[in-house]
């Protein structure tokens, strides 16, 4: 058995130690030695095996091509960032002028100014904007600053939602010390229900977009304009982060319309339909946003330079992948699918082009299906595509598809066209080519 220090002297592993650190390289060496001891490989192959065991990066996250057809997939990290956002993020990753005036060389209080200006340009109806860690943080900040100390948040029983993974909005709000005043019923709440609950203990009325489910039938909810007419601070959690109306998603609320209808504050996520990094977006009346951002809690919820850079580039730069996926024409998806399937069939992999149905996902636009096109492959490839040897060696991204009717479907609506070549390579490697 070659000794560990001998193996670590291998030029390939020495070079890897510069990139990955000595501990991760040593762990790969130990795994390779273990395989030799188990008789899987001969001792002269240990160095090669250690090189093959090296992780792609020093972090344990594996890139995954999202071919599930769910555009915003929470388990896959929600929105993929645009090229522009990735570039901006990388540029800010070192030291940058986040709180530094390059003109004067003095400290600058303009942290986050770029993204605030981008938000204000995108939503002129907002008197002010702010960014916090995520939408849950935006709601906690609003509840603490506007209804802390036992004041009441009036909310419809039809909007007491669980965001996911047992995170329940009512619990989140109650954790701030605010009191929830539930009005109406699960399926029907009128503006009179809200009106009857008003008292001098009110912090604000909260309207929440039930983004991940839909109540159908005998239903009614009070609209933003009706609630705004009650002359109590109105906070609207729109969820998905559409800044303006989207023609394909008529039932999805957006910040500009909500503010135009009289909401005082809109909160939203940055990494759902907006297509950016995880963030909570605050848009609304200037004094209200200022009160929130000057609250001591705001410091605990603030975002870092990476988020600020990626979010600004998402809003100011070219359309992010989520927005492009949403509007991609099925004809274009078919062309891509035919091309990819032809390459795979040329390598004797049975690939068919089939119609599919994609979804927005990420707790957005429930019930909306988007016509899509998928490549159908033998179901057995699903495992190798997720964690076959090529994925483990970092030679191929993992691919997540959807198994249906005995086939593995790779839905192209959720795949960035720039990833088509990587997708083909991943399938070829998974099939043993």
Q: Which residues bind ligand PLP (CB under 6 A)?
A: 134-136, 163, 208-209, 211, 237, 239, 269, 280, 363
**Closest approach of Cβ 267 to ligand PLP, in Å?**
8
Q: How far apart are CA 77 and CA 71, in angstroms?
A: 11
Decide whether 211 or 257 has the Cβ nearer to ligand PLP: 211
Decide whether 271 or 411 has the Cβ nearer to ligand PLP: 271
Q: How far, CA to CA in Å, does 237 sit from each of 214, 215, 343?
A: 16, 18, 46
Q: Which residues contact 222 (CB under 8 A, 6 or more apart)?
A: 156, 189, 190, 191, 193, 194, 207
- In this structure, what token pair is assigned to residue 246? 């989207």
Q: How far, CA to CA in Å, does 328 sit from each of 90, 313, 334, 372?
A: 28, 21, 11, 9
**Closest approach of Cβ 121 to ligand PLP, in Å?**
22
Decide whether 203 or 241 has the Cβ nearer to ligand PLP: 241
Decide whether 248 or 332 has the Cβ nearer to ligand PLP: 248
Decide whether 136 or 385 has the Cβ nearer to ligand PLP: 136
Q: Output the residue with the shortest Cβ distance to ligand PLP.
A: 239
**Closest approach of Cβ 284 to ligand PLP, in Å?**
16
**Closest approach of Cβ 269 to ligand PLP, in Å?**
3
Q: How far apart are CA 384 and CA 398, in angstroms?
A: 9
Q: Please, what's the largest Cα pairwise distance for the chain?
A: 81
Decide whether 209 or 402 has the Cβ nearer to ligand PLP: 209
DSSP string, 402-421: EEETTEEEEEGGGS-GGGHH
Is 137 exposed, middle or buried (CB count within 10 Å of its CB: 0-12, 13-18, 19+)?
Answer: buried
**Closest approach of Cβ 192 to ligand PLP, in Å?**
24
For residue 419, give the nearest of 409, 431, 411, 430 by alpha carbon.
411
**Closest approach of Cβ 370 to ligand PLP, in Å?**
18
Decide whether 237 or 312 has the Cβ nearer to ligand PLP: 237
**Closest approach of Cβ 230 to ligand PLP, in Å?**
21
Q: Are 337 and 173 in contact (CB under 8 A)?
A: no
Decide whether 10 or 271 has the Cβ nearer to ligand PLP: 271
- The number of beta carbons lying within 10 Å of the beta carbon of residue 6 is 12
**Closest approach of Cβ 285 to ligand PLP, in Å?**
20
Q: Are 193 and 156 in contact (CB under 8 A)?
A: yes
């Amino acid at each position: 058995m070659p000794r560990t220090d001998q193996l670590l002297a291998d030029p390939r592993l020495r070079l890897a130690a510069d990139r990955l650190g000595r501990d991760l390289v040593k762990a790969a060496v130990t795994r390779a030695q273990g395989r030799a001891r188990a008789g899987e490989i001969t001792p002269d192959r240990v160095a090669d095996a250690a090189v093959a065991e090296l992780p792609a990066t020093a972090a344990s996250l594996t890139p995954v091509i999202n071919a599930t057809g769910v555009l915003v997939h929470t388990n896959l990290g929600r929105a993929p960032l645009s090229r522009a956002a990735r570039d901006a993020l990388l540029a800010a990753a070192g030291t940058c002028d986040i709180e530094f005036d390059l003109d004067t060389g003095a400290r600058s209080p303009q942290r986050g100014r770029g993204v605030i200006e981008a938000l204000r340009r995108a939503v002129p109806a907002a008197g002010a904007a702010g960014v916090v860690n995520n939408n849950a943080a935006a709601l906690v900040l609003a509840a603490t600053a506007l209804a802390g100390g036992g004041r009441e948040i009036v909310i419809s029983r039809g909007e007491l939602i669980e965001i996911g993974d047992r995170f329940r909005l009512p619990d989140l709000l109650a954790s701030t010390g605010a009191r929830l005043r539930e009005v109406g019923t699960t399926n029907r709440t009128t503006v009179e229900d809200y009106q009857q609950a008003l008292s001098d203990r009110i912090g604000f009325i909260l309207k929440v977009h039930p983004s991940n489910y839909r109540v159908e039938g005998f239903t009614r909810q009070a609209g933003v304009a009706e609630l705004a007419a009650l002359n109590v601070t109105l906070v609207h959690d729109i969820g998905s982060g559409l800044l303006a109306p989207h023609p394909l998603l008529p039932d999805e609320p957006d910040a500009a319309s909500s503010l135009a209808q009289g909401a005082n504050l809109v909160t939203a996520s940055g990494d759902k339909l907006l297509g950016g990094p995880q963030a909570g977006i605050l848009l609304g009346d200037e004094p209200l946003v200022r009160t929130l951002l000057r609250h001591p809690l705001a410091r605990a919820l603030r975002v870092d330079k990476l988020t600020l850079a990626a979010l600004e580039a998402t809003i100011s730069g070219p359309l992010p992948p989520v927005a492009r996926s949403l509007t991609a024409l099925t004809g274009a998806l078919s062309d891509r699918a035919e091309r990819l399937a032809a390459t795979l069939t040329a390598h004797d992999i049975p690939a068919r082009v089939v119609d599919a149905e994609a979804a927005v996902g990420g707790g957005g636009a429930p019930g909306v299906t988007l016509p899509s096109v998928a490549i159908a492959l033998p179901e057995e490839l699903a495992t190798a595509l997720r964690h076959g040897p090529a994925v483990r060696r970092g030679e191929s991204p993992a691919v997540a598809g959807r198994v249906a009717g005995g086939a593995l479907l790779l839905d192209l609506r959720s795949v960035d066209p720039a990833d088509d070549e990587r997708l083909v390579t991943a399938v070829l490697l998974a099939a043993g080519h």
